[in-house]
Amino acid sequence: MSSFSGRTAFITGGARGQGRTHALALAERGADIVLVDRCTDSASVAYPLAIRSELDDTAKAVTDLGRRCLAVVADVADRTAMDDAVARAVDEFGRIDIAIANAGVSVAEGLTGLTEAMWNEVIGTNLTGVFNTVAAVAPVMAANGYGRIVTVSSMMGRSAAPGMAAYSASKWGVIGLSKSAALELAGTGVTVNVIAPGNISTPMVHNEPLYKRMRPDLEAPTRDDVAPVFASLHAQPVPFIEPEEVTRVVLFLADELTSHITGTVVPIDAGAAARVSS
């Protein structure tokens, strides 16, 4: 794998979870990092989102590795805020070589309980947020003749499940958006690829409201109680995948030498993709 020395990576949802793991791996390999995170809870999301101290901790971990880090509090659903974040990144580092459109929220709610606010939150963050990120970084990358964009879908971006209408719709949308962007940018030196994770061990999955939804028969389900339900969503008999395994794919797609792979979807889902047609 190439060094990322001299590169700048722009990572949304970078305060914690998979975004943090990607940031630290890229920083370890030489990249300067821009972290964007909302650091505010949403009334439509049942579990807590990142807090400011998590963003600061991730930024410190990057600088402890000897790299520079710009941490921006912004909502990916806000196009003006994303344009400002990209402008600040270019002011600070002069370039953006890698963008990981990773910020996301999950709402598990059946159609009758799915409010307009929930729908708007999920589509706003997961789909419009990816559009805002890609649209804001693409001109900077195209002008430099180089870029590696990785967007984040899900195994739910190629399948469906009860209670997942908004999340699934947003993640299917990410694939259509990213393939279109890959074609538009094909002549510019910028690649656009999608990752589609399965159940990844982060706070999006390990939280009480989701555990209760997975095991409604139990008063206070534990990780062990929900593990068989999560495992049933994968083909390989594992309930959870560590974020570092997702990061390995991000590093591959972000590599300078990965220059002729664009418009693809790479699953990291313990075989769940084998059950669907594309």
Ligand X SMILES: NC(=O)c1ccc[n+]([C@@H]2O[C@H](COP(=O)([O-])OP(=O)(O)OC[C@H]3O[C@@H](n4cnc5c(N)ncnc54)[C@H](O)[C@@H]3O)[C@@H](O)[C@H]2O)c1
- Coil, helix or strand at residue 235: coil
Report the distance separating Cα 275 and Cα 190, nearest Å: 31
Considering the candidates 47, 146, 167, 211, report the single residue annotated as catalytic.
Answer: 167
Length of the chain: 278
- Crossing angle (nearest 10°) for helices 129-144 and 165-184: 20
59 in contact with ligand X (CB under 6 A): no
**Residue type (1 letter), 275:** R
CB 90 within 8 A of CB 143: no
**Residue type (1 letter), 132:** N
Closer to ligand X by CB, 38 or 148: give it: 38
Interacting residue with ligand X among 199, 226, 250, 253 (CB under 6 A): 199
CB of 3 to ligand X, least distance (A): 25
Is 167 a residue of the active site? yes
CB of 74 to ligand X, least distance (A): 6
Pick the piece of the chain touching ligand X (CB under 6 A) from 85-93, 102-110, 136-144, 182-190: 102-110
The pair of three-digit structure tokens given for residue 223, joined into one six-digit string: 């990780």
Kindly write out the interface string for residues 159-198 of this chain, putting x where it contacts ligand X by CB under 6 A and - elsewhere.
Answer: --------------------------------------x-
75 in contact with ligand X (CB under 6 A): yes
CB 32 within 8 A of CB 9: yes
Query: 194: which strand partners?
Result: 151, 265
268 in contact with ligand X (CB under 6 A): no
Residue with tokens 């699934």: 168
CB 97 within 8 A of CB 8: yes
Integer angstrom CA distances of residue 178 from 66, 135, 262, 265, 277 = 32, 11, 9, 9, 19
Interacting residue with ligand X among 11, 31, 35, 37 (CB under 6 A): 37
Closer to ligand X by CB, 8 or 126: give it: 126
Per-residue DSSP letter, 152: E
Closer to ligand X by CB, 159 or 202: give it: 202
Kindly write out the interface string for residues 1-30 of this chain, putting x where it contacts ligand X by CB under 6 A and - elsewhere.
Answer: -----------xx-xxxxx-----------
Report the distance separating Cα 122 and Cα 213, nearest Å: 18
Closer to ligand X by CB, 22 or 29: give it: 22
**Residue type (1 letter), 99:** A
Interacting residue with ligand X among 86, 96, 129, 266 (CB under 6 A): 129
CB of 245 to ligand X, least distance (A): 12
The pair of three-digit structure tokens given for residue 194, joined into one six-digit string: 């999608």
* Element containing residue 166 per DSSP (H, E): helix 165-184
Closer to ligand X by CB, 104 or 173: give it: 104
**Count of residues binding ligand X (CB under 6 A)?**
30
205 in contact with ligand X (CB under 6 A): yes
Catalytic positions are 167
Binding site for ligand X (CB under 6 A): 12-13, 15-19, 37-38, 49-50, 75-77, 102-106, 125, 129, 152, 154, 197, 199-200, 202-205
